[in-house]
Amino acid sequence: MELDEKKYLYLLVLLPILVCIFFFNLYWKRKKQREFGDLEMVKKLSPERSTFKPVLKLVVVLLALTCLIIGLVNPKIGTKMETVKREGIDIVFAVDVSKSMLAEDVAPSRLEKSKQLVSQIINQLGNDRIGIVAYAGSAFPVLPITTDYSVAKMFLQSMSPDMVSSQGTSLDEAIQLSSKYFDEKSKTSKLLILISDGEDHSDGALAAAEEATKLGMKIITIGVGTEKGGTIPLKENGVIKGYQKDQNGETVITKLNQESLKTISKTTKGYVYGGNTKEVLEYIKNALNNIQKTEFEATQMADFQSQFQWFLSFAFLLLFLDIFLLERKTNWINELNLFNEKK
């Protein structure tokens, strides 16, 4: 079961507040009755007034409010897992999470801009399967091939330089790990979208790209950053405490290296500068249109249906019944003598 609008669960805090108000009001009435006169004499003035009915009305109202809140939350129930056939391609996003991606020469930062680009690309996908790889000095698998885009976005937002212990930018390891995501025997078209500032501190990126294309992979690289460059802020609790320095104590200036990214994708002519989101999305869209789609099977939860209508119906039924629940004694309740009202 999943909940559509979890924020409305906070309304449940109203229930104990209403209970407190009810008992405070009850206490206040008893106090005033004592001031008016003897309680036994007061009861004789209203012999039909029930002690049980106000409590019953409170319970009915609380149940009605609970059902209304659950109705607003809109619980959904999935009844089964089913295998469906889709037509698309397999895409792996390899995102550079090295410290140079923290540079803010591109707002809000190179890394956050990369996340935004990937998220926007995912939004325009149809039935394609996607995976995510993070890399710096080494590559790290973040999410295996899946059709669940919401989970992919969740993992995407959690990516940071802390995910990878060794720093640098190992483009060759990113390509090699991404290629392992794809099934070599599968006829499904394979696409690697590699996002980086291009500051490659390892050898073999071109060789890795050429080996990947032999396996049928197409590679598109997206350059994030500026050629003018920027400093790498060192933050603590969101506050800048200084800037990254080199071994000589000089502030590091990191620059976008478009040539290394263009070299990697030269076999498929797939490089685009990531400064303009609209241009990137248009470029990716055109590239996807030129890639042959393949039919594949995907397992997903089926028959997720909203259940809010049952809770709302029960809530309105209880509120309707509450109208007819008067505070006078009823014969059958009077016979039960639950609150020892008979004398």
The 10s digit of each residue's pLDDT in 189-209 is 899 999 998 876 566 888 888
- Judge contact between 174 and 135, C-beta under 8 A: yes
**pLDDT beyond 60 at 337:** no
pLDDT of residue 237: 76
Q: Please, where in the chain does CATH 3.40.50.410 lie?
A: 82-299
**pLDDT beyond 50 at 339:** no
Q: How many CB atoms lie within 10 A of CB 189?
A: 19
- Phi and psi torsions of 239, nearest 5°: -105, 130
**pLDDT beyond 90 at 137:** no
Q: Which fold would CATH assign to domain 82-299?
A: Rossmann fold (3.40.50)
Per-residue CA distances from 130 to 118, 199, 314 (Å): 11, 25, 42
